[in-house]
C-alpha cells in the first residue's frame, strides 16, 4: 500500500515534468499561426530607468504592424522584462521569456553588461537577436550567427567625431573625458587611430567613474591641458556635471559627446540650459526625430502621440523603433513560412534604412553600420544637423 502511494507520487511528478517539458517544446518555436512572440529587456526602474524608454518605444512599431493586420497574418506579441540594469536580473528575465513564454526573437536590450550576461545563452538557444543597445565590440568578436548589430561601434563613434573636429572644425588641441570602462576604452582606440592619421595626439585623456559626482579635478586637468574641444564618452549625469563644473571655472571648450547623449531636451534641462548655451554637439544615429517634414519621422511621431500619449518623444523612446525596424522588415520579407533559419537568411542579406543608419548585413558580417551624423544643440534646445551621415573608413581594430 505504501509502495503504491510512492508510485502514485512519482507518476504525478513524472506527468508534471513531462507536461511542462511539452509546453516548453510547444512554445519553443516562438510563433504559431496567430502570433509571433518577441522580447526585450531594459531598466524600467532603478537609476538607469531613463534608458528604459527604449523598450517601451519598440511597442510603437509592433503596434503599427498589428494594426495593419500583423505580419503575414500573425500579430506580434511583445514582452518587456525590467532588469533594473542588473545583469543577474537580465538573465532571469531572458530565461523566463525563452523557457516559459517561448519567444522567437529579441530586439534591443540596453547596456553592455546586461547584454554580455545573456549573450552566450541566447546564442546556445539559437534565438534571433537584433540591435543590442551598445556599441561595445565584445558582441561581434567572435562572430555570433544569431546577433545582428545596429548600435554603431564606439570605436567608429570616436573616430567619426575626431574626424569632424579636426577636418571640419580645425581644432588642434583635443581632450577626452571618458567613462572608465569598455565604452571609454573602445572609443579611445578610434580617437587615437584617427588622430594618428593627422599626426596628432590627445592633449589630455581623463577617466570618470559613472558614480562620481565631483568632477572638479578632471575639469581642472582638461582646462590645464589647453583643450579647445573635449570629446565626452560619459553617461548623461557625468556629462551634465562636467559641463556645470567647467562653466563654474570659466572653461568653455567645444563639447562633443557620443550618440548616447542625443536627448537634447533632457540634457538641456539637467544642465540648466547650458547644453544649448554652450552649443554642445553629439554624434547621432537617427534622422532628426523632431523634424516631421521627414515622412518616416512623421509616421512614427504621429503613431507615438496616438498610441502612447503619456510618453515623451525623446531619443531613447525613438531608439526603441530603430532597434526593431530591421527585424520587422526581415519578418515581412520572410513571408508566411516562418522559421528561425528563414528569418536569419533574410537578416543575412538585409540592406535597409529606416529611422536609423543604413544597414548592410551579410552572412559573415553582422556588425553594425559604420556611419553617424553630428548634431548641435541650438539656442532653443533644437537639433541643428552640422554634418550629415559620415562613414568611418578606417579599418576596425578587431
Partner 1 sequence: MPLGQLLVDGLAMGACYGLFGLAVVIIYKTSEVLNFAAGETAMVSTFVAYHIMVISGYNFWIAFVVALIFVGILGIAIEYFFLRPAKNPTLLGLIVITIGAQMLLMGMASWKWGAEQKQFNIPFSYKVTHEPISGFIVSEWAIAVFVVAAAVMTFLYFFFKYTKIGTAMRATQQNKHAAKIMGIKTDRVFAFSWAFSSIIGALAAMLLSAKNILDPGFMMESFLRAFASAVLGGLMSIPGVLIGGFIMGLVENFFGYVMPAWKPITAFVVIVLVLCVRPSGLFAKHWVKKV
Binding of partner 1 by 45 (CB under 8 A):
yes
Q: How far is the C-alpha of 63 from the C-alpha of 61, rounded, in Å?
A: 5
According to CB under 8 A, which one of 25, 224, 307, 363 is a site residue for partner 1?
Answer: 224
262 contacts: CB under 8 Å, gap ≥ 6 = 282, 283, 284, 285, 286, 315, 375
Residue with cell 572608465: 180
Binding of partner 1 by 241 (CB under 8 A):
yes
- ω into 142 cis (within 30 of 0): yes
Binding of partner 1 by 213 (CB under 8 A):
yes
Q: What is the closest distance, in whole angstroms, from the C-beta atom of residue 337 to partner 1 in the complex?
A: 44
According to CB under 8 A, which one of 240, 256, 331, 355 is a site residue for partner 1?
Answer: 240
According to CB under 8 A, which one of 141, 248, 292, 362 is a site residue for partner 1?
Answer: 248
Binding of partner 1 by 266 (CB under 8 A):
yes
Binding of partner 1 by 270 (CB under 8 A):
yes
What phi, psi does 147 have (nearest 5°)? Answer: -120, 130
Pairing verdict, β 204-208 and 174-179: parallel
Q: What is the closest distance, in whole angstroms, from the C-beta atom of residue 178 to partner 1 in the complex?
A: 10
Residues 313-317: contacts with CB under 8 Å, at least 24 apart = 313/289, 314/53, 314/263, 314/265, 314/266, 314/289, 315/262, 315/263, 315/286, 315/289, 316/50, 316/51, 316/52, 316/53, 316/54, 316/57, 316/263, 317/53, 317/54, 317/56, 317/57
In the bound state with partner 1, the residue whose beta carbon lies nearer, of 220 and 342, is 220
245 contacts: CB under 8 Å, gap ≥ 6 = 215, 216, 218, 219
Instruction: Tell me which stretch binds partner 1 (CB under 8 A): 34-42, 139-147, 242-250, 332-340.
Output: 242-250
CB 326 within 8 A of CB 359: yes
Q: What is the closest distance, in whole angstroms, from the C-beta atom of residue 212 to partner 1 in the complex?
A: 6
DSSP string covering 140-168? SSS--TTEE--S--HHHHHHHHHHIIIII
In the bound state with partner 1, the residue whose beta carbon lies nearer, of 171 and 178, is 178
Q: What is the closest distance, in whole angstroms, from the C-beta atom of residue 108 to partner 1 in the complex?
A: 19
According to CB under 8 A, which one of 113, 247, 391, 396 is a site residue for partner 1?
Answer: 247
In the bound state with partner 1, the residue whose beta carbon lies nearer, of 16 and 249, is 249
Q: What is the closest distance, in whole angstroms, from the C-beta atom of residue 366 to partner 1 in the complex?
A: 32
3-state secondary structure of 172: coil
Q: How many residues bind partner 1, per CB under 8 A?
A: 38
Binding of partner 1 by 113 (CB under 8 A):
no
CB 288 within 8 A of CB 298: no
Cell numbers found for residue 116: 554580455
Binding of partner 1 by 269 (CB under 8 A):
yes
In the bound state with partner 1, the residue whose beta carbon lies nearer, of 48 and 97, is 48
3-state secondary structure of 115: helix
Q: How far is the C-alpha of 243 from the C-alpha of 252, rounded, in Å?
A: 9
In the bound state with partner 1, the residue whose beta carbon lies nearer, of 101 and 180, is 180
Q: Is 295 exposed, middle or buried (0-12, 13-18, 19+ CB in 10 A)?
A: exposed
Q: Within 171-210, which residues bind partner 1 (CB under 8 A)? A: 180, 206-209
Binding of partner 1 by 223 (CB under 8 A):
yes
According to CB under 8 A, which one of 28, 29, 50, 66 is a site residue for partner 1?
Answer: 50
Q: What is the closest distance, in whole angstroms, from the C-beta atom of residue 238 to partner 1 in the complex?
A: 9
In the bound state with partner 1, the residue whose beta carbon lies nearer, of 99 and 181, is 181
According to CB under 8 A, which one of 217, 339, 365, 397 is a site residue for partner 1?
Answer: 217
Residue with cell 523566463: 96
In the bound state with partner 1, the residue whose beta carbon lies nearer, of 266 and 347, is 266
124 contacts: CB under 8 Å, gap ≥ 6 = none
Q: What is the closest distance, in whole angstroms, from the C-beta atom of residue 266 to partner 1 in the complex?
A: 7
3-state secondary structure of 129: strand
In the bound state with partner 1, the residue whose beta carbon lies nearer, of 26 and 249, is 249
Q: What is the closest distance, in whole angstroms, from the C-beta atom of residue 220 to partner 1 in the complex?
A: 5
What is the contact surface with partner 1 in residues (CB under 8 A)? 45-50, 180, 206-209, 211-214, 216-218, 220-221, 223-224, 236-237, 240-241, 244-245, 247-250, 266, 269-272, 274
Amino acid at each position: 500500500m505504501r509502495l503504491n502511494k510512492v508510485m502514485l507520487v512519482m507518476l504525478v511528478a513524472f506527468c508534471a515534468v513531462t507536461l511542462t517539458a511539452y509546453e516548453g517544446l510547444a512554445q519553443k518555436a516562438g510563433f504559431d499561426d496567430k502570433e509571433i512572440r518577441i522580447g526585450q529587456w531594459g531598466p524600467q526602474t532603478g537609476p538607469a530607468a531613463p534608458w528604459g524608454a527604449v523598450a517601451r518605444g519598440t511597442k510603437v512599431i509592433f503596434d503599427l504592424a498589428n494594426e495593419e493586420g500583423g505580419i503575414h497574418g500573425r500579430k506580434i506579441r511583445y514582452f518587456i522584462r525590467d532588469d533594473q540594469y542588473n545583469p543577474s536580473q537580465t538573465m532571469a528575465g531572458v530565461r523566463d521569456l525563452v523557457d516559459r513564454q517561448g519567444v522567437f526573437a529579441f530586439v534591443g536590450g540596453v547596456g553592455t553588461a546586461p547584454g554580455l550576461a545573456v549573450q552566450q545563452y541566447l546564442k546556445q538557444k539559437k534565438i534571433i537577436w537584433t540591435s543590442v543597445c551598445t556599441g561595445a565590440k565584445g558582441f561581434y568578436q567572435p562572430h555570433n550567427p544569431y546577433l545582428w548589430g545596429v548600435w554603431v561601434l564606439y570605436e567608429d563613434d570616436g573616430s567619426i567625431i575626431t574626424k569632424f573636429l579636426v577636418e571640419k572644425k580645425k581644432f588642434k588641441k583635443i581632450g577626452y573625458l571618458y567613462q572608465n570602462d569598455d565604452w571609454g576604452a573602445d572609443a579611445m582606440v578610434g580617437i587615437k587611430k584617427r588622430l594618428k592619421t593627422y599626426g596628432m595626439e590627445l592633449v589630455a585623456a581623463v577617466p570618470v567613474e559613472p558614480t562620481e559626482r565631483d568632477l572638479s579635478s578632471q575639469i581642472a586637468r582638461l582646462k590645464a591641458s589647453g583643450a579647445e574641444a573635449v570629446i565626452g564618452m560619459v553617461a548623461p549625469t557625468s556629462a551634465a556635471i562636467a559641463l556645470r563644473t567647467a562653466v563654474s571655472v570659466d572653461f568653455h571648450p567645444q563639447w562633443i559627446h557620443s550618440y548616447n547623449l542625443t536627448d537634447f531636451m533632457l540634457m538641456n534641462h539637467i544642465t540648466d540650459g547650458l547644453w544649448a548655451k554652450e552649443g554642445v554637439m553629439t554624434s547621432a544615429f537617427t534622422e532628426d526625430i523632431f523634424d516631421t517634414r521627414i515622412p518616416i519621422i512623421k509616421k512614427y511621431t504621429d503613431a507615438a502621440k496616438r498610441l502612447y500619449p503619456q510618453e515623451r518623444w525623446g531619443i531613447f523612446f525613438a531608439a526603441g523603433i530603430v532597434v526593431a525596424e530591421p527585424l520587422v522588415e526581415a519578418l515581412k520579407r520572410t513571408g508566411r513560412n516562418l522559421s528561425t533559419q528563414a528569418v536569419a537568411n533574410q537578416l543575412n542579406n538585409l540592406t535597409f534604412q529606416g529611422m536609423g543608419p543604413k544597414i548592410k548585413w551579410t552572412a559573415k558580417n553582422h556588425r553594425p553600420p559604420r556611419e553617424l551624423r553630428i548634431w548641435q544643440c541650438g539656442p532653443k534646445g533644437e537639433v541643428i544637423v552640422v554634418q550629415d551621415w559620415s562613414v568611418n573608413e578606417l579599418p576596425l581594430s578587431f
